[in-house]
């Protein structure tokens, strides 16, 4: 079939069909391709019948006119996708059905009706929503990308696509909420920070692909039913909360889930449900290196996006994680040489009196350099004492959580690259846990149970003190700027120079200096945020890097809102921390970027090959 010239279409209207050639010519050649009103169509003559199909293979756009036919099956010559020549149905799940067109043969002339293609548009949304679901079931990233792009062009919102991913991830992973759903939620939070429209689609593609990957090979999850006579059983929500915490304590996931779903089904207030979960998440110290509370916070953020109607399915997916979590009381590092657990338990006993004194304080609390220095110090008792003193001086829970989160970010901002590479994640876990605690307290500002978690952050950060030996000095405002402020091509140059830096390994300190130079000369954090998001999305997915950037943006915003630290720029320090972490984990192979770009080019009508015929 190679070398056949493309026949010029003889455009002639006949019963709303277009003349494309003669039957005699088709019989002689066996096939030919034409372009009709923007549609590249291939026609085949098989066993006395004429068939017309879209000439672009739905897999990667290769011309099907170069394919082969046998026994009614058309096989693409590139990746060997196989199609029913009559219906266009594909036998290979990694490709897709090819559109077919109605054919009329009148007096030896062949007419093709393109009305079929127009009719297909009416059903395109439903088709591609189903195709997205199929792609997630088969864990095929290219089809996820294609579906996202097509559905976006059909004006399906990102929140609707997010909901599809949330429904899938909470149903088809027996272990419940995991890395995939956390990435999906982080991506929804990060997408608005980019000024590049394509990045919004990259973000949802990454999120949905992460969910598909996390669920791949997993059995489905089945929720339990609520207790009988829901309304009367749940009249005392305090009892359900107590039972829930007890069942988590004894690692009984089924009992705990039944209490939780009973409270939700009874229509209890969202904050009451949040209180049940966050209380159990803080009954033990730093559960699963912070993942339990972090995932819980992300689950509530997901519900903020899709609505409370998914609460049963989403929140019950957390319960197994709670019941199986590692408790830091079981770790020797929290017991020896200093018994941190006992220190924190003694502190918890004092908190009611401390909070009462804080209510009577007339001060407007602000953190100081001394506060930060103590939080980064090597005396756990002094760390506990300064937190207690801050509460007595009137510090709000969310303010105290924010300053402890800032101290956790400084561990990363001053992390020397001479450390073990894996220790980046040791510091990261504390920071992302701190962000989750601070956000949870913002949701439940008076929660005494969540207050305990602030002390857990501080102790985890204390245990990480060896990660700042030696401590890397923070770059200062005098660093070389990324570019001149008044240049018209400034934004493009800023991104290009920064991305070029991240194309090389171990540019941790260099990238941080560029960020500080940019902020000192231009001060436009919105542009910097967009650059960082784009830098993240071009790489292969890294759960921890995604967490780091999303948490950093949250805490930068919180520090700006709360204004609790004078004389320094804590927001820029948080951006330094996330930039250093990102630079330490780039470049990747960028295979996922390549997959998205293939889908993008196909969606735009581009060719991935030369000399189409």
- Assess if residue 474 is contained within a domain: no
Rg (CA), the chain: 29
Same domain, 494 and 447: no
Same domain, 26 and 42: yes
Per-residue confidence band for 12, with pLDDT thresholds at 50, 70 and 90? very low
The domain tally of the chain equals 5
pLDDT at 482 over 90: no
Predicted local distance difference test score (pLDDT) of residue 38 = 82
- Assess if residue 222 is contained within a domain: no
The DSSP symbol for 234 reads T
The DSSP symbol for 41 reads E
Which helix (H) or strand (E) segment holds residue 89: the answer is: none
| Contact assessment for residue 327 and residue 285, using Cβ atoms and an 8 Å cutoff | yes
Same domain, 517 and 577: yes
- Assess if residue 223 is contained within a domain: no
Predicted local distance difference test score (pLDDT) of residue 333 = 95
Lowest mean pLDDT among 3-7, 372-376, 388-392, 546-550: 3-7
Same domain, 297 and 363: no
Per-residue confidence band for 566, with pLDDT thresholds at 50, 70 and 90? confident
Predicted local distance difference test score (pLDDT) of residue 41 = 95
pLDDT at 56 over 60: yes
Which residues, including other chains, have CB under 8 Å from residue 74's CB and lie 6 or more apart?
44, 53, 64, 67, 68, 82, 83, 84, 85
Q: Which of 215, 249, 265 is the last residue of a domain?
A: 215
Q: Token pair for residue 278? A: 């966050």
- Assess if residue 447 is contained within a domain: yes
Tens digit of pLDDT for each residue in 515-526? 998 887 766 788
pLDDT at 243 over 70: yes
Which residues, including other chains, have CB under 8 Å from residue 581's CB and lie 6 or more apart?
412, 424, 428, 544, 545, 548
Q: Token pair for residue 501? A: 């830096």
Tens digit of pLDDT for each residue in 499-550? 999 999 999 999 999 999 888 776 678 899 999 999 999 999 999 999 999 9
Pairing verdict, β 109-113 and 100-106 = antiparallel
Q: How far apart, in whole angstroms, are the C-alpha atoms of residue 12 and residue 5?
A: 21
The secondary structure of 362-375 as a DSSP string is -----B-HHHHHHH
Same domain, 250 and 211: no
- Assess if residue 611 is contained within a domain: no
Q: Whole domain around residue 90: which residue ranges?
A: 13-113
Query: What's the whole-number mean pLDDT along residues 300-316?
Result: 98
592 CB neighbour count, 10 Å cutoff:
21
Query: What's the whole-number mean pLDDT along residues 363-381?
Result: 95
- Assess if residue 6 is contained within a domain: no
pLDDT at 592 over 50: yes
Q: Which of 113, 138, 168 is the last residue of a domain?
A: 113
Mean of the per-residue pLDDT values of the chain: 91
Predicted local distance difference test score (pLDDT) of residue 229 = 82
Q: How far apart, in whole angstroms, are the C-alpha atoms of residue 226 and residue 242?
A: 16
| Contact assessment for residue 258 and residue 227, using Cβ atoms and an 8 Å cutoff | yes
Same domain, 339 and 459: yes
The DSSP symbol for 226 reads P
Same domain, 349 and 284: no
Q: Token pair for residue 140? A: 């095929």
Tens digit of pLDDT for each residue in 166-199? 999 999 999 999 999 999 999 999 999 999 999 9
Token pair 């669920």 in the structure block, residue: 215
Torsion of the alpha carbons at 139, 143, 146 and 149, rounded to the nearest 10: -30
With b for 16 or more beta-carbon neighbours within 10 A and e for fewer, the 216-247 pattern comes to: eeeeebebbebbeebeebbeebeebbebbbeb
The DSSP symbol for 394 reads T
Per-residue confidence band for 13, with pLDDT thresholds at 50, 70 and 90? very low
Distances from the Cα of 500 to the Cαs of 145, 282, 355, 497, in angstroms? 26, 43, 51, 5
Q: Which of 79, 113, 147 is the last residue of a domain?
A: 113
Residue 50 three-state SS: strand
Same domain, 106 and 176: no
The fraction of the chain above a pLDDT of 90, given in percent, is: 82
Same domain, 495 and 572: yes
CATH number, residue 41: 2.102.10.10
- pTM as predicted: 0.91
Tens digit of pLDDT for each residue in 60-93? 999 999 999 999 999 999 999 999 999 999 999 8
pLDDT at 231 over 90: no
Q: Where are the beta strands (DSSP E) in 326-421?
A: none
Q: How far apart, in whole angstroms, are the C-alpha atoms of residue 511 and residue 578?
A: 10
Tens digit of pLDDT for each residue in 416-475? 999 999 999 999 999 999 999 999 999 999 999 999 999 999 999 999 999 999 999 998
Predicted local distance difference test score (pLDDT) of residue 166 = 98
Same domain, 131 and 86: no
Same domain, 367 and 462: yes
Same domain, 264 and 342: no
Per-residue confidence band for 123, with pLDDT thresholds at 50, 70 and 90? confident
CATH number, residue 280: 1.20.272.10
- Assess if residue 600 is contained within a domain: no
- Assess if residue 264 is contained within a domain: yes
54 preceded by a cis bond (ω within 30 of 0): no
| Contact assessment for residue 284 and residue 328, using Cβ atoms and an 8 Å cutoff | yes
Q: How far apart, in whole angstroms, are the C-alpha atoms of residue 269 and residue 340?
A: 35
Residue closest to 162 by CA, chosen among 299, 298, 302, 297: 302
């Amino acid at each position: 079939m190679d070398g056949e010239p493309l026949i010029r279409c003889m455009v002639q209207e006949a019963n709303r069909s277009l003349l494309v050639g003669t039957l005699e010519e088709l019989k002689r050649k066996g096939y030919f391709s034409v372009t009709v009103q923007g549609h590249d169509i291939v026609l085949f003559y098989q066993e006395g019948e004429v068939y017309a199909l879209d000439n672009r293979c739905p897999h990667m756009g290769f011309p099907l006119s170069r394919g082969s036919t046998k026994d009614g099956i058309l096989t693409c010559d590139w990746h060997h996708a196989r199609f029913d020549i009559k219906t266009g149905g594909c036998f290979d799940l990694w490709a897709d059905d090819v559109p077919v067109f109605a054919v009329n043969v009148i007096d030896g002339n062949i007419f093709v009706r393109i009305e079929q293609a127009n009719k297909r548009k009416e059903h395109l949304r439903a088709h591609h929503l189903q195709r997205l679901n199929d792609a997630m079931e088969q864990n095929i990233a290219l089809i996820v990308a294609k579906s996202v792009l097509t559905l976006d062009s059909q004006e399906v919102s990102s929140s609707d696509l997010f909901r599809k991913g949330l429904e899938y991830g909470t149903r088809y992973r027996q272990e419940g909420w995991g890395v995939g759903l956390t990435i999906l939620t982080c991506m929804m939070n990060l997408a608005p920070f980019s000024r590049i429209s394509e990045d919004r689609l990259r973000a949802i593609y990454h999120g949905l692909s992460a969910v598909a990957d996390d669920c791949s090979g997993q059995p489905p999850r089945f929720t339990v039913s609520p207790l009988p006579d829901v309304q009367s059983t749940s009249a005392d929500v305090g009892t359900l909360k107590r039972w829930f915490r007890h069942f988590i304590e004894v690692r009984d996931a089924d009992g705990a889930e039944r209490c939780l779903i009973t409270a939700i089904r009874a229509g209890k207030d969202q904050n009451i449900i949040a209180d049940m979960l966050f209380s159990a998440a803080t009954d033990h110290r730093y559960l699963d290196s912070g993942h339990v509370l972090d995932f819980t916070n992300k689950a509530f953020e997901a519900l903020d996006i899709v609505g409370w109607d998914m609460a049963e399915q989403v929140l019950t997916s957390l319960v197994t994680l709670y019941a199986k979590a590692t408790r830091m009381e079981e770790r020797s590092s929290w017991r020896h040489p200093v018994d941190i657990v006992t220190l924190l338990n003694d502190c918890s006993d004092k908190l009611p009196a401390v909070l009462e004194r804080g209510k009577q304080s007339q001060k407007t609390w602000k953190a100081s350099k001394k506060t930060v220095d103590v939080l980064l110090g090597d005396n756990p008792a002094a760390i506990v004492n300064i937190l207690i003193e801050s509460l007595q001086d009137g510090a709000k829970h969310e303010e105290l959580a924010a300053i402890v989160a800032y101290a956790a970010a400084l561990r990363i901002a001053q992390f020397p690259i001479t450390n073990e590479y894996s220790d980046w994640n040791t510091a990261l876990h504390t920071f992302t846990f701190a962000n989750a605690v601070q956000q949870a307290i913002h949701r439940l500002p008076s929660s005494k149970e969540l207050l305990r978690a602030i002390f857990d952050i501080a102790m985890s950060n204390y245990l990480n003190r060896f990660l700042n030996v030696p401590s890397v000095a923070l770059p200062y405002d005098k660093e070389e700027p990324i570019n001149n402020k008044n240049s018209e091509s400034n934004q493009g140059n800023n991104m290009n120079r920064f991305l070029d830096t991240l194309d090389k390994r171990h540019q941790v300190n260099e990238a941080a200096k560029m960020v500080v130079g940019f902020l000192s000369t231009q001060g436009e954090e919105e542009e910097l945020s967009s650059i960082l998001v784009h830098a993240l999305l071009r790489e292969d997915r890294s759960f921890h890097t995604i967490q780091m950037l999303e948490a950093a943006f949250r805490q930068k915003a919180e520090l700006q809102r709360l204004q609790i630290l004078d004389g320094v720029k804590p927001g820029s320090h948080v951006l330094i921390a996330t930039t250093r972490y990102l630079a330490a984990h780039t470049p990747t192979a960028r295979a996922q970027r390549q997959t998205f770009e293939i889908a993008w080019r196909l969606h735009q009508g581009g060719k991935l090959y030369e000399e189409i015929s």
